């Protein structure tokens, strides 16, 4: 079981090695909604325990979640899973997927979750922004190869 993982030159491919497996992004969705425990993830998603176990340890391995002991009074110590800063930054990915689903796979009832600013309460979208924090239109976005781009063999 070799894990070439972060060996891929493409950042998208590397990210997908960490979060691209089935269930992983849904586990993270639940983590963003505040769930931290094995059984909580299991009940929310209906995922098989062996798959959940494997996904959680991958996420911990790559620093998306941290595994932390906790102890409720009168019980033994157990472990819970918490988003790290790196994990929280995946919120953009989930937000982008959510937005795309809202826009292109709508349901008659409308979205079940909306993204809003905590301060201004304005609805939020996910998009490309320049260094001054100004949104840029999709048509204005280009992907450029850098010097690190592998030469075609």
Site for DNA in 24-53 (CB under 7 A): 37-40, 46-51, 53
CA-CA-CA-CA torsion for 5, 7, 9, 12, nearest 10 degrees?
10
Nearest to residue 28, comparing CAs of 13, 15, 14?
A: 15
Site for DNA in 64-83 (CB under 7 A): 74-80
Please tell me whether residue 17 adopts helix, strand or coil conformation.
helix
Question: Of the candidates 97, 79, 78, which has an alpha carbon nearest to the alpha carbon of residue 28?
Answer: 97
CB of 130 to a copy of itself, least distance (A): 5
Instruction: Please list every residue from 55 through 94 that binds a copy of itself, using CB under 8 A.
Output: 62-63, 86, 88-94
Exactly one of 76, 113, 151, 153 binds a copy of itself (CB under 8 A); which one?
113
Does residue 102 belong to the site contacting DNA (CB under 7 A)? no
Minimum gap (Å) between residue 56 Cβ and a copy of itself = 18
DSSP 8-state secondary structure symbol assigned to residue 124: -
Q: Are 52 and 38 in contact (CB under 8 A)?
A: yes
**Dihedral angle, C-alpha 121, 122, 125, 127, nearest 10 °:** -110
| Cβ at position 69, least distance to DNA in Å | 10
Binder among 29, 41, 47, 65 for a copy of itself (CB under 8 A) = 29
Considering beta carbons, is residue 71 or 117 the nearer one to a copy of itself?
117
Interface residue list for DNA (CB under 7 A): 1, 21-23, 37-40, 46-51, 53-54, 56, 74-80
């Amino acid at each position: 079981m070799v894990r070439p993982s972060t060996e891929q030159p493409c950042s998208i491919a590397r990210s997908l090695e960490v979060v691209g497996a089935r269930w992983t992004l849904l586990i993270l969705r639940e983590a963003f909604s505040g769930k931290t425990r094995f059984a909580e993830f299991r009940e929310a998603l209906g995922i098989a325990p062996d798959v959940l176990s494997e996904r959680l340890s991958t996420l911990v391995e790559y620093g998306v979640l941290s595994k932390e002991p906790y102890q409720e009074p009168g019980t033994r110590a157990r472990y819970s899973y918490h988003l790290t800063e790196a994990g929280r930054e995946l919120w953009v990915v989930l937000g982008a997927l959510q937005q795309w689903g809202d826009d292109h796979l709508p349901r008659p009832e409308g979205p079940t979750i909306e993204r809003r600013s905590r301060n201004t309460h304005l609805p939020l979208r996910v998009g490309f922004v320049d260094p001054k924090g100004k949104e840029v239109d999709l048509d204005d976005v280009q992907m450029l190869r850098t010097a690190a781009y592998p030469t075609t063999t």
